[in-house]
Amino acid sequence: MKICVIGTGYVGLVGSAVFANWGNKVVGVDIDEKKISKIKSGDMPIYEPGLKELVSKNIKNKHLSFTTNLAEAVKESEVIFICVGTPSGQTGAADLNAVWTVAKEIARVMNNYKVVVVKSTVPVGTNEEVERIIKGIVGEKPEFDVVSCPEFLREGYSIEDSNKTDRVVIGGKSQKGINKVKEIYAHLGAPVVECDLRSSEMIKYASNAFLATKISFINEIGQVCERAGADVINVAEGMGLDSRIGPRFLHAGLGYGGSCDPKDVEALYRTSTDQAYDFRLLRGVMEVNEQQRTHFVDRVRKYFGNLADREIACFGLAFKENTDDVRKSVAIEVIKLLRGEGVNIRAFDTVAEKNAKKELGSTGIRYVRDPYEAVKGAEALCILTEWKEFTKLDFKKIGRLLKNKVIFDGRNILEAKKMQDLGFSYFAVGRGNLSRVNGAN
């Protein structure tokens, strides 16, 4: 099938490569000329495992091309995916300007029947508005259908996720349009949820909000565990084995971040208030998420008494492991809070360092490429992102290099017993039992 993907961010770039790899003829479009020439030359604007290889393979076999010429790309395609960004505006509502602009541009150049698929995460009613905009420009002919097909890919695993998705959600008014999109995904054999446009839009928000709720729930349980002398890791394990609950997204830590979850929770809350409904549970989810980072910094401050001019090594800058993305990264937020108290930071995260520098600047922060260099002479180590690589480091050596043998593990990724055996004061999140072992908490 001939497909055009508009927007070459995470969703669009991965989407175009994956669609091409499935045997379609795909053209990726972006207004950013620099980005397009970078992609064409094999230099990916984002870090995503396997993406570079997939893009170059499909450019080589002529299944995939990139352009800034939207008109030509739309004209030669049957299905057009809108994958532009929908960032949070000042009120928390999604900023949809890019979606409206693209809808108008598509309408102006449409030459025959097209299926316009909105893949960007958009609030309820957006697809209908896209339909109205296009109709307002093209009139009766050419015919077109608007279809909603939200994206559920996790950053860091998006190529893998694309090929074994749990479900495909396709919303639309016309069966003809729905069937066209179904055809693209048919070979995966995944369950397909067919529904109306508004329900499809809501499925995406409800899913991300539920995942965020799971995280805030386990973080609240962690708060109680800390006070009651229980261990959130054991609690999550015991809960997760109940098949009705499931083990995933029950990892207590600094809270959720990233370009999707915080924005989607806020946008859903905004949708509810727009509909004159106060979604109290979501308010709590957001509050708890904020609390996790301040609670962590409170813990570090409590240990030292005063944080001014302390030298602290921070491992992790990305919003989660396996990505260079620092958008709404809790690691960045924690570093800002520590900086606000006068802490000098040695930051270690070679993958996310470049993006983090743009967010954090360099005042009071030394970006270090070697973890052992980062901890040398530092007064404590904070773990801020759940990179698996951190667990494989030589902690005996880290203990020798640190000025104080103290670790604040904001992601609960290290083995408490091992750290304690090595003589560390090991602070984790929601692990009230540690205090009874060695007085650490």
Active site residues: 260
Q: What are the DSSP calls for 353-416, one per residue? A: HHHHHHHH-STTEEE-SSHHHHHTT-SEEEE-S--GGGGGS-HHHHHHHSSS-EEEETT--S-H
Nearest approach, Cβ of residue 86 and ligand UDX (Å): 12
Contact between 213 and 281 (Cβ < 8 Å): yes
- Contact set for ligand UDX, span 236-255 (CB under 6 A): 249-251, 253
Q: Residues 154, 116: contact at Cβ < 8 Å?
A: no
Closest-CA residue to 80 (of 38, 24, 132, 36): 24
Sole binder of ligand UDX in the list 75, 104, 154, 283 (CB under 6 A): 154
CB within 8 A of 7, min separation 6: which ones?
29, 30, 82, 83, 84, 85, 98, 102, 120
Q: Angle at CA 393, nearest 5°, toward 391 and 397?
A: 135
DSSP letter assigned to residue 157: S
Site track 267-306 with ligand UDX (rule: CB under 6 A), x = hit: ----------------------------------------
- Binding residues for ligand UDX, rule CB under 6 A, total 20
Q: By CB under 6 A, is residue 130 in contact with ligand UDX?
A: no
Q: Which stretch binds ligand UDX (CB under 6 A): 258-266, 296-304, 337-345, 416-424?
A: 258-266
Identity of the residue, 215 or 313, whose beta carbon is nearer to ligand UDX in the bound complex: 215
One residue of 257, 316, 410, 430 binding ligand UDX per CB under 6 A: 257
Token code pair at residue 133: 């905009």
Judged by beta carbon, residue 144 or residue 217, the one nearer ligand UDX is 217
Q: How far is the CB of 301 from ligand UDX (least distance, A)?
A: 22
Q: Which of residues 73-92 bind ligand UDX (CB under 6 A)?
A: none
Tokens of 25: 């003829």
Determine, following the binding rule CB under 6 A, whether residue 256 of this chain makes contact with ligand UDX: yes
Tokens of 386: 């759940």
Fill in the amino acid letter for 337.
L
Selected from 171, 258, 399, 430, the binder of ligand UDX by CB under 6 A is 258
- Interaction pattern, residues 373-392, with ligand UDX; x per rule: CB under 6 A: -------------x------
| Residues 319-378 within binding reach of ligand UDX (CB under 6 A) | 319-320
With beta carbons less than 8 A apart as the criterion, state whether 106 and 71 touch.
no
Least separation in angstroms between residue 171's CB and ligand UDX is: 16
Distance CA 393, CA 413 (A): 12
Peptide bond into 142 cis (omega under 30): yes
The least CB distance from residue 190 to ligand UDX, in Å, is 14
List contacts with ligand UDX (CB under 6 A): 151-155, 208, 211, 215, 249-251, 253, 256-258, 260-261, 319-320, 386
